[in-house]
Structure formats: C-alpha cells, structure tokens
C-alpha cells in the first residue's frame, strides 16, 4: 500500500512539480548523525526553493510513503534497514516497522504515484569483480523499467564505473551529462569516462524526459558533477577506496553491507571531508531535480 502525503497528493493532482527523494541517504545507513538530518533539511529546502514539492519516500509501520509527513522525519533518520524495490511487498506484508528506501525502491514508488523526477546522491551500479560475484545493483534495472528522470552525481565512486555505463547502455538507459561530457565520479567531477549526451539547462533535460515518455521508453540518468568547491582529491579518495575494498574482501562483506563500510572508511580517511562533499552534492542534485521538475510541469 502506498500512501501519498497530503501536500504531494495535492501537487500531483494539480500537475505541479514534485521531486521524489530516497531515504537511505538520510538514514544512519547513508550518513552519520547529525549529518543525515542536515542532509534531509538541505535537500527538502533545495527542492522547495525551485518551486517544486519534495516527496520523501520510506516504509513506516508497513506503509509505503510517497511524501513522508514532517512529524515522521525522526523515524526516517533512525532507519537501519534498507528496502529495495524487490523488498517493497515484503515490507508491507510483513509490516516492517521502518525501512529506508533505496534508489530502486524510490524510483518504483515515484512511477506508481505519478512523480517524474527523482533526486539522490549517487546510484548503485556494477561492483568490482562482478564477473565473480555477479553483484549488480537493482538501481540499474529500476532505471530501465520506470520512466523517471533520475538526478545523481553519477554512481558511487567505489563501483566499476566503466561496466556500470556499459550495463546502462545494454538496458537502453541514456546517461546524460548536466553541463558536462564526462561521467562524474561522485566525490570528483570527472572520471575520465566520456558520455555521449549532455544538456545545458533544465529546459533541455525536461524536453528529453518528455520525448522519452512520449515514446513509451524507460528512465533517464541525468548526471550532475559535484560543485567544484566541494570536490575532493581523487588520489586520496582512490587510496581510501582501495583499502576499504580490501577489508570488504577480508571480512567477506556482501550486498548491502558493502556501501556503509566503504563510506565509513572514506569518511575516516578524509577526516570527515567526504561527509561535507556528500551534503554538497546531495543538495545540488536536489536543486537541479527541482528545476527540471518545474520545467516538466510547465509543458
């Protein structure tokens, strides 16, 4: 069962701009407290400043929310269980007390209720050594299946970025750069990987989404580089990631255990600078998503 919050329901009915938000990034699984609460307020505010309405997604008491009411935000911040798209029916049938929605779950929810734009920090993707583990995020298939424009700072930096791009191509998901011709690498603005398409403003992004919708096609990944003032040193990030991935193998961590471990290791290695970078890129993505949603609603 999906419950649409009052403000979001009114906005959708009036064909006003709405931006869906995941909740994993705002839970303890995404950012440490109190940075997770700061991230939530920054993203909510960024969307509203564009004239769009934010729709925070989560599972609470067995109910899937699209537009969590403010009085329940504290429960979202305290979530310690991830809910992906495949878990949504399980979460409702088994009445999960609380669950933080991933990208795949949030995109599925957005599509179900008629929200066309979704903002996140970074999507999941193809993991390194996937030829052995077959570890590929459900986020990628969700992008292919649901006609939602996903705004992110690329994929998480510790993933196999070339294979992630290749997988998206096989799923017919266009990867479009926001004022860039390179795939961003989350904490850094560039990865050295060229992408074929770009847009330079919200008008272009909105038209692309509407044209794909008219053709009955799936989602689009709009990749937005982290603001230059928040970008981290790529060599420092690479060293931290390599060390943390070695620990992942040593401890035999898999699936949803990997991301929190790597993010914590990067935070430690950068003396907290990665958290500030995460806040900056999440807020920036939310703002871009709001601008695109406004343009879509105006057409």
Distances (CA, A) of 29 to 76, 79, 207: 11, 8, 35
SS3 72: helix
Q: Give the Cα separation of 169 and 186 in Å (integer).
A: 20
Active-site residue 22, yes or no?
A: yes
Options 82, 116, 156, 283, the catalytic residue: 156
SS3 3: strand
Supply 151's token pair: 């705004």
Active-site residue 268, yes or no?
A: no
Nearest to 18 by CA among 138, 111, 139, 144: 111
Options 22, 116, 231, 295, the catalytic residue: 22
The single residue listed with the structure tokens 């699984």 is 29
* Three-point CA angle 191, 192, 195, nearest 5°: 90
Which amino acids are annotated catalytic?
Answer: 22, 156
């Amino acid at each position: 069962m999906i419950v649409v919050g009052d403000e979001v329901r009114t906005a959708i009915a009036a064909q006003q701009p709405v931006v869906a938000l995941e909740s994993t990034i705002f839970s303890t699984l995404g950012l440490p407290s109190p940075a997770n609460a700061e991230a939530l307020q920054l993203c909510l505010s960024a969307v509203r400043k564009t004239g769009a309405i934010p729709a925070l997604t989560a599972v609470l008491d067995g109910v899937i929310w699209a537009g969590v009411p403010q009085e329940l935000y504290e429960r979202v911040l305290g979530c310690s269980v991830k809910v992906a798209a495949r878990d949504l029916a399980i979460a409702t049938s088994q009445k999960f007390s609380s669950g933080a929605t991933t990208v795949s779950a949030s995109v599925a929810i957005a599509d179900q209720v008629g929200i066309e734009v979704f903002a996140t920090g970074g999507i999941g993707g193809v993991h390194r050594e996937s030829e052995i583990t077959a570890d590929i995020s459900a986020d990628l298939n969700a992008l292919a299946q649901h006609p939602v424009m996903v705004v992110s700072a690329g994929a998480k930096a510790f993933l196999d970025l070339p294979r992630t791009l290749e997988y998206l191509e096989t799923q017919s998901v266009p990867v479009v750069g926001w004022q860039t011709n390179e795939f961003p690498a989350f904490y850094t603005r560039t990865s050295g990987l060229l992408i074929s398409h770009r847009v330079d403003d919200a008008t272009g992004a909105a038209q692309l989404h509407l044209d794909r919708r008219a053709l009955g096609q799936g989602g689009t990944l709009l990749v937005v580089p982290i603001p230059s003032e928040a970008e981290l040193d790529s060599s420092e990030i690479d060293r931290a990631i390599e060390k943390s991935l070695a620990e992942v193998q040593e401890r035999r961590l898999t699936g949803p255990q990997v991301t929190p471990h790597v993010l914590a290791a990067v935070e430690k290695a950068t003396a907290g600078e990665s958290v500030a970078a995460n806040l900056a890129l999440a807020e920036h993505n939310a703002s871009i998503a709001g601008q695109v949603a406004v343009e879509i609603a105006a057409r």
